[in-house]
Amino acid sequence: MGRPDSPADHADVFEILGLERRFDLDPASIDLAYRARAAALHPDLADPDKAADAARASAALNDARATLADPERRANALLAALGGPSPSEDRSLPRAFLMEMMDVRQEAEEECSAPEGLAKWQAWADAQREEAIADVAALFAESPDALAPIRERLNSWRYVERMIEQLDPEHESPI
């Protein structure tokens, strides 16, 4: 699941992996860039006097890969790299979103006591996640400088993620 607050989110993870700043990165290109950089940082190749630096670079590389592999974290990192607001700087949500989510949560809490109800809401959360990914991809593609609408969509995405985590702490994102 997306965790928008890791150390790599505060660095330019795209630069660390040598990838173009864009949301629609192919998972294979992330892995390829990671493997190429990881091979260059391998401990067997490191100067013994610079082992600590190599370890820090390797940790940053691992975190950059994890950030870019997760669509929510990748979107947050891209928004930060473009100068957009962080979740703490802009907590905006779409109109009527909270009312809708309060209704959804009430219904979900009532149904989640039964295994089939929990499965229904996990499927709902997965569909919401897929919709959020598509929306964010479209926003970045159509208007990469329209950072406020992107932040608003990311905030609503995170809200839904937190809600399903609270309803089912064992739920794992399919992504």
Domain coordinates in residue numbering, the chain? 7-81, 97-167
* pLDDT more than 70, % of the chain: 88
* SS3 readout for the chain: CCCCCCHHHHCCHHHHHCCCCCCCCCHHHHHHHHHHHHHHCCHHHCCHHHHHHHHHHHHHHHHHHHHHHCHHHHHHHHHHHCCCCCCCCCCCCCCCHHHHHHHHHHHHHHHCCCHHHHHHHHHHHHHHHHHHHHHHHHHHHHCCCCHHHHHHHHHHHHHHHHHHHHHCCCCCCCC
User: pTM of the entire structure?
Assistant: 0.83
Q: What tens digit of pLDDT does each residue of 106-148 get?
A: 999 988 878 788 889 889 989 999 999 999 999 999 987 889 9
CATH number of this structure's domain 7-81: 1.10.287.110
